[in-house]
Structure 1
């Protein structure tokens, strides 16, 4: 579904991602793990069209994204729930969900997808008319993911969905990611909670200083001594 081939991404003269290649197959949860500054979020931004490539290519469903603008990336079937949530605080929950579907015209399917999102996150149904900025951090994270799902993506990019959440809400978020995959959406996940990410992922890529360090089945990496010591509190 997604293929990154030797991508290089820069902030000015600083290389943030250095020659990264990876693949994501339909129906998978793939996770990127690594320390702060490893290039994980930058990779998602490049896929979304928010950052240009210096070198390399990104292909989605066999087609080169080739510097397509971010709205075109969404139109092709990739939605991004960004780090820090980035919900619209002065809009209601309902209005935020509407913004997720802004490129769509299929009103009946939009209504069905809204019900799907509200079933995934019952708390949002309870808060449907509430200003998003007045909700808790966990509720805002649910809204950020729900808003992305309203684009009806084939591939969902999730950036640090558990950041700043209480442990009980972290469990809810990861259970929901699994349910999203079961409903047919492929997921590329960036997550500081490496243990939780490896528990639900099919495969994992480990980034270090912008470059690929290790990759393989998530279950194997979860038992790798180097990974355990570096990221899992071993």
Structure 2
């Protein structure tokens, strides 16, 4: 892969011919994709297309039956989930999966479980609370008593507390009011500006394409097409076929 200055560079994340099954059912079939440092890349497609399965496989929650996953030049196949976090990948899952009986502060602290750098952890906590001021207001509140939008902010903030090089975001706008959807996508752009690469799964495909650099369209677990996000968003045939246009 060639960079703008003509030098050959390796992608931050690379999936090569990845196959994932649930029992005998193929959920992802021969998927190859890459994410470069500093990008926002989005996976789009209908329900059941394999998008969330792909993120779960990258983060180690599922194991590929075939193919390789490489991050920063090192294979992730067979690496335990907590070690994948230590290598620099954090996952904000579909459905938020916060700990409802714990406070906002305790949830955020759990995001840094793999870290020992207390000073940097405190700095990252301040950064998360700057990104999401509502969390600062509710820092001692039980997480389960917050609104859906606030819980989504907490899920993203908890993942950021791992100080990842790559942030996996699964359906961050699901179930949110339009004003909060706009806030979430603005925050995703700010996260990238702060130096974190993002791989995004999102049902609101047009909103995802608006913030992404590149996109991969999945259909029934297989790669259907890929390209620059701006180009896909302007293609009427693609919008009508895959993006609910």
TM bucket by the smaller chain? over 0.9
1:67 Cα deviation after fit: 1.3
Residue aligning to 2:8: none
Residue aligning to 2:116: 105
Residue aligning to 2:240: 229
Residue aligning to 1:190: 201
Q: Is the 8 A contact 2:63 2:77 kept in 1?
A: no
1:201 Cα deviation after fit: 0.1
1:18 Cα deviation after fit: 0.1
1:224 Cα deviation after fit: 1.8
Normalised by the length of structure 1, the TM-score is: 0.99
* Corresponding position: 1:88 with 2:84: no
Encode CA deviations 1:151-201: one digit per residue, 9 max, x unaligned.
000000000000000000000000000000000000000000000000000
Encode CA deviations 1:6-53: one digit per residue, 9 max, x unaligned.
000000000000000000000000000000000000000000000011
Normalised by the length of structure 2, the TM-score is: 0.95
* Corresponding position: 1:39 with 2:50: yes
Q: Secondary structure at the match of 1:5?
A: strand
Q: Is the 8 A contact 2:44 2:217 kept in 1?
A: yes
Q: Return the alpha-carbon distance in structure 2 between the equivalents of residues 34 and 233 of structure 1.
A: 10
* Stretches (4+) displaced over 2 A: 230-234
Q: Secondary structure at the match of 1:228?
A: helix
Residue aligning to 2:164: 153
Q: Return the alpha-carbon distance in structure 2 between the equivalents of residues 224 and 108 of structure 1.
A: 48
2:75 to 64, 68, 72: 64
Residue aligning to 2:7: none
2:142 to 131, 135, 141: 131
Q: Secondary structure at the match of 2:126?
A: helix
Q: Secondary structure at the match of 2:200?
A: strand
- Name structure 1 gaps, 5 residues minimum: none
Worse overlay, 65-74 or 132-141: 65-74
Q: Is the 8 A contact 2:45 2:243 kept in 1?
A: no
1:178 to 189, 193, 212: 189
